[in-house]
Amino acid sequence: MQFNINKGVGRPLDFFGLKNQYIILFIVGVIFAFIAFFLFKIISDFIGLLIALAIALVSYLISHQLNRKFGINGFGNYLAMRMCPQRVSMRKAINLVKVTSRKNEV
């Protein structure tokens, strides 16, 4: 029995040039624009529409900029590298003696 395998399996999700997590970032921005529209619609329909369009446009531009700059997994790697310390420092010499004495014992 033979089954046809979908040719899209294993490829990253792509939607109008946006890939993976940037699609979620754009959708969150559009949802935020939708909520802002209804909040500012109380003041005026025109103001609510302008603010919602501005938020959606900024969300679109930021998500495409991050997509171009970092690629598929680059943004996650960038955030992970920001959490790593630049250097490891020992403030007490006693800790250094303990580390070097263990190394000599082995």
9 backbone φψ class: left, alpha, beta (φ>0; ψ -120 to 50) = beta
Determine contact, residues 44/52, Cβ cutoff 8 Å.
no
In this predicted structure, what is the pLDDT of residue 86?
76
In this predicted structure, what is the pLDDT of residue 55?
94
Q: At 24, which amino acid appears?
A: I
Q: Is 0.75 topped by the overall pTM?
A: no
Give the pLDDT confidence of 67-96 residue by residue, as tens digits: 888 877 777 788 888 888 777 766 666 655
How far is the C-alpha of 50 from the C-alpha of 39, rounded, in Å? 12
Q: At 102, which amino acid appears?
A: R
